[in-house]
Structure 1
């Protein structure tokens, strides 16, 4: 999810001018089941808050797994 959030920030309309982002942490996360080979993992991320001047963003997301 952190990698998908980084991809969101590299979009030109969002954070585009920055090349490097740091992962700071996660809140309210639950790991329900491990993903195994053959599973389809769908991840959705959305930008919640952006402070473009200093390069800080907050993303929200969810994932689902289909076996």
Structure 2
């Protein structure tokens, strides 16, 4: 799996960090920080949930 984030699109809602704290964090301005670009398969559900909850659609999850 590969996760990418568009920090320019991020609005700082923080949903990603709330539902997948092992994959995402936020900087002091609330902008997404990707902690793990290539997490294991076990993290796929939480990564997809974070992407689906992102109001700015700033997170992309490619399962392969």
TM-score (norm 1): 0.23
Tell me which protein shows more helix as a share of its residues.
2
Tell me which protein shows more strand as a share of its residues.
1
Q: With CA pairs under 8 Å and 6+ residues apart, which has the higher RCO, 1 or 2?
A: 2
The structure whose Rg is larger is 1
TM-score (norm 2): 0.23
